Chain A
């Protein structure tokens, strides 16, 4: 249908012409004024109420409620959540994204990525590192102490440096990361190093306390996934201008809350197409098995939505083994398969090992349903109990039913029956 092809071309043109720049780190309530009112907690995935949330999500909510001073301990926070004291909203409804549980509340620092082509901004919290962290449902004193350090030390230092530097251009940085073996979802080693290199001089110029600067650089330098949250805000900043293009069958967001998977499509506005989320298949850290795992979770699938992550598996053979996706020599097969369900390729984000093939760009719901090839997502695996953290990494497929619903809805919009 010509109207769809034209709309999809507009959609992909907007994706490819995006100019994401990391410009600031500011408190979430400044970035998102709605967080100043009431006790709002933004979470990953499509909308969900307290009763239906998975264990890690409930654990994170209890922890963040204590962190914000809304409850004096975790038990009280759980009880308050059950009584409906907190307001729950998806990050995606407030220009934000968050990994795994995706907690975003008023006093947390958020990174600001500005899409300079279209003028919109997107937000994501700072990656906490590995181990016991809130994004995997961690909520004890160690987790809250780190969040307080991010709020009081890391956030202000990073914000000052970014403002002084004029921002860090992310499109070219990601292109270099792809050529250095990152796919930006489960492997961010190269981009994290490049980020530290870019921001380092401005940090040195703007930090008054050498000890605090040393702590920050140690934190940044020891976190291989530091860039993940930057990449996610980049994805959100790229995809938001693609929302609401009449007739477009291009996916604008994929996201999961640990219970359900949600998909949004440009031509159907901000409707969520929701289906039960699937369990990742992957490799587990010693001592854990699939019986310990929580179903897939997080807004990080915005990475795949812009053609990275599982879509760029061919750029990151090392990650294929880490996520249990088979031999490194087969990593390119995933990228080729994703090319079957996308509208175009990205000429600026290319994979050297695949003769500089551009990453598959613009997921077309028609092609997903026609071929039966669901988007491949590289993901971390959380323990199903709150507070334990990451127990593995794997690959998961987006549920086909989300796309079936989306095709029916787009057909209804177009009055096709």
Chain B
């Protein structure tokens, strides 16, 4: 992102989409920042063997 756009973004009221760990969203909300939380976790809970099997099974 260009530096000017980045500065403009941070100068404006933040609207955040937080993916994954809810703690980050909670902390931002506590500071009055508007946050949309997206539930996400790594496929198969981060187990690489299961994730590999799932990809072969078409998940």
Contacts and interface: CB of A to CB of B under 8 A. Distances in A.
Interface string A395-417: 00000100010011011001011
Interface string A111-149: 000000000000000000000000000000000000000
A4 B56 contact: no
Contact of B59 (A2, A366, A404, A408): A366
Interface stretch (B8-16, B21-29, B30-38, B42-50): B42-50
How extensive is the interface on chain A, given as a class?
Answer: 20 to 34
B41 to A, nearest CB: 4
B45 A411 contact: no
Contacts of B47: 404
B1 interface: no
B57 A372 contact: no
Nearest to A337: B39
B56 A366 contact: no
Contact of B56 (A249, A404, A411): A411
Nearest to B41: A372
Residue among A366, A369, A404, A410 having the largest count of chain B Cβ atoms under 10 Å = A369
Given A372-B45, A407-B50, A408-B50, A367 B56 contact: no
A1 B56 contact: yes
Contacts of A371: 41, 43
A366 B56 CA distance: 11
Contacts of A75: none
A372 B45 CA distance: 6
Nearest to B46: A372
A237 to B, nearest CB: 29
Contact of A5 (B41, B56, B58): B58
Contact of A408 (B41, B45, B53, B58): B53
A15 B11 CA distance: 55
Given A400-B45, A404-B50, A408-B50, A369 B56 contact: no
B54 interface: yes
B50 A410 contact: no
Contact of B54 (A5, A369, A400, A417): A369
For the residues of B in contact with A, the DSSP-based class is helix
A1 B57 CA distance: 5
Contacts of A408: 50, 53
Interface in A287-329: none
B58 A366 contact: yes
A230 to B, nearest CB: 35
A370 B53 contact: no
Residue among A1, A370, A416 having the largest count of chain B Cβ atoms under 10 Å = A370
Residue among A2, A400, A416 having the largest count of chain B Cβ atoms under 10 Å = A416
B58 A411 contact: no
A366 B58 CA distance: 8
B53 A407 contact: yes
B54 A370 contact: yes
Contacts of A249: 57
Contacts of B44: 369-370, 372, 404
A367 B59 contact: yes
Contacts of B53: 407-408, 411, 416-417
Given A370-B44, A400-B45, A4 B57 contact: yes
Interface string A1-23: 11011000000000000000000
A370 B58 CA distance: 11
Residue among A400, A408, A410, A411 having the largest count of chain B Cβ atoms under 10 Å = A411
A369 B58 contact: no
Contacts of A369: 43-45, 50, 54, 59
Given A366-B58, A407-B57, 6 more contacts: A370-B43, A370-B59, A371-B43, A404-B50, A410-B57, A414-B57
Closest 10 CB pairs of A and B: A1-B58, A366-B59, A372-B41, A370-B59, A411-B53, A416-B56, A370-B43, A369-B44, A370-B54, A1-B57
